[in-house]
């Protein structure tokens, strides 16, 4: 049976292809769940899955045909879908996805040095993400519709590594609530391998609020949550917290309070005025030591996971499930994480080795920032200190993704065209 062979000894694959997948293949060498499979070796199957994510064809059949037209040997269609059902391969991809995410260094040029209080925290933005059902998924017996496929992800706010927490339970309900999924995971899974004594901090949207559960996670597992207050909540102020008003990181803070909830536990509430948007926000958290301005800033960073989902859906075209089995759906989510994390690694290395940066986007960002500062100055307000300090590109541009596809698919037997990417990044 023919199989994909992107790494032949004849040298028909470029050094770029080898380098792009190298972080993943390095982890494979010591993987607990790897096995010898002559028909479709693990190293080739892993590259096939990542390429399926990066390719923009709507079906598995179209993807395999595209690879074949690019001169790559591919498995038979039936064999490709059979591998997506494999429990062993799911265990392997889960193991390697976690290892790859953990290996990513902090994004270059970030502003965490401005917040030394966070040195003992692992920081994540978490959320659920849904896409369309697979072509052969069953329709609901009541309304004849197919249920969307849901997953819950966590984005590391330091490295921007994306990790898969769990797939939504579609057996017991049509759309699982965020807190039900998180409770299913339990403390060890939510800590994601954090060392004993290290705090793990999640920023979640308002679907993640359950004060009694937050209290249990904090005292039993060192897990801290942050979200926004819901409009219908009735919270009673029981204490005013002291905070440093001269700290520039606290600019915009209106109040820092301890409030009681209807669930019989107290939480911290930070009320904040966002100068850039001209709106007031109210944040709730179980973390009581960080400066209140830092709490507000961490919630602002939650938007980065939404931008990551936009990258997966609109830039990579991952809008529906690949196959119907639960293993296949979980495997697809892990490949989404792998592809995202490999792109971050590739982009970082291109900047480190070749000094290639998205100059056009950096210029646009600087221009927007200057415009905000001038507008706020007219309103006798200032840009938040942390908003200025945390200037970093946190999503892959369409330019980069298009260039990457050309290197992996249209030019698999050539060295990467670095000059072409540099030219793309220089143009507006």
* 13 has pLDDT over 70: no
pLDDT tens for 222-248 read 999 999 999 889 999 999 999 999 999
- Residue-level pLDDT at 77: 87
Among 342, 36, 16, which residue's Cα sits nearest to residue 161? 342
With CA atoms as reference, report the closest residue to 164 among 336, 343, 396.
Answer: 336
Q: What is the pLDDT of residues 201-223, one digit of tens each?
A: 999 999 999 999 999 999 999 99
Residue 4 has what pLDDT? Answer: 37
Closest Cα partner for 81 from 274, 321, 421?
321
pLDDT higher than 60, residue 375 = yes
Q: Any idea which of 269-273, 297-301, 311-315, 349-353 has the lowest mean pLDDT?
A: 349-353
The 10 Å CB-count burial string (b at 16+, else e) for 192-207 is bebeeeebbbbbbbee
Give tens-digit pLDDT for 145-180: 888 999 999 999 999 999 999 999 877 677 889 999
pTM recorded for the entire structure = 0.92
Average pLDDT over residues 128-149: 86
H helical segments located in 55-86:
60-69, 77-83
Q: Note the pLDDT of residue 141.
A: 67
**Dist CA 404 CA 17 (whole Å):** 10
Please write the tens of the pLDDT for every residue from 86-101: 999 999 999 999 999 9
Mean pLDDT rounded to a whole number for the chain: 90
Which among 12, 4, 5 is positioned nearest to 411, based on CA atoms? 12
* SS3 state at 104: coil
**Among positive and negative, which fits the CA dihedral 248, 251, 255, 258?**
negative
């Amino acid at each position: 049976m023919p199989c994909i062979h992107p790494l032949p000894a004849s040298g028909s694959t470029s050094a770029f292809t080898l380098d792009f997948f190298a972080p993943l293949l390095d982890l494979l060498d010591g993987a607990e769940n790897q096995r010898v499979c002559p028909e479709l070796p693990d190293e080739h199957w892993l590259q096939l899955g990542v390429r399926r994510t990066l390719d923009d064809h709507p079906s598995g059949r179209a993807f395999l045909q595209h690879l074949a037209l690019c001169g790559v040997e591919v498995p038979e269609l039936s064999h490709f879908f059979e591998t997506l059902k494999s429990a062993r391969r799911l265990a392997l991809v889960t193991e390697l996805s976690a290892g790859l995410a953990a290996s990513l260094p902090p994004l270059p040029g970030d502003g965490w040095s401005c917040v030394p209080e966070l040195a003992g925290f692992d920081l994540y933005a978490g959320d659920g993400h849904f896409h369309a059902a697979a072509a052969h998924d069953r329709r609901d017996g009541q309304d004849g519709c197919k249920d969307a496929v849901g997953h819950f992800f966590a984005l590391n706010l330091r490295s921007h590594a994306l990790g898969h927490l769990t797939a939504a339970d579609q057996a017991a309900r049509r759309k699982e609530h965020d807190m039900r999924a998180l409770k299913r995971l339990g403390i060890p899974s939510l800590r994601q391998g954090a060392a004993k004594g290290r705090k793990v901090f999640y920023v979640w949207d308002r679907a993640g609020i359950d004060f009694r559960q937050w209290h249990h996670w904090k005292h039993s597992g060192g897990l801290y949550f942050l979200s926004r207050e819901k409009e219908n909540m009735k919270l009673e102020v029981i204490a005013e917290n002291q905070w440093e008003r001269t700290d520039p990181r606290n600019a915009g803070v209106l109040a820092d309070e301890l409030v009681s909830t209807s669930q019989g536990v107290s939480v911290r509430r930070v009320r904040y005025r966002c100068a850039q948007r001209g709106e007031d926000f109210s944040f709730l958290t179980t973390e009581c030591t960080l400066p209140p301005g830092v709490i507000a800033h961490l919630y602002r960073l939650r938007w980065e996971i939404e931008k990551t989902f936009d990258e997966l859906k609109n830039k990579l075209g991952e809008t529906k499930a690949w196959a119907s089995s639960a293993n296949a759906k979980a495997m697809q989510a892990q490949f989404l994480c792998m592809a995202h994390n490999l792109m971050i690694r590739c982009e970082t290395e291109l900047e480190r080795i070749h000094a290639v940066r998205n100059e056009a986007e950096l210029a646009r960002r600087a221009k927007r920032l200057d415009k905000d500062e001038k507008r706020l100055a007219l309103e006798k307000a200032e840009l938040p200190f942390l908003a200025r300090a945390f200037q970093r590109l946190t999503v892959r541009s369409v330019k980069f993704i298009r260039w990457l596809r050309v290197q992996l698919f249209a030019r698999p037997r050539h060295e990467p065209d670095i000059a072409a990417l540099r030219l793309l990044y220089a143009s507006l």
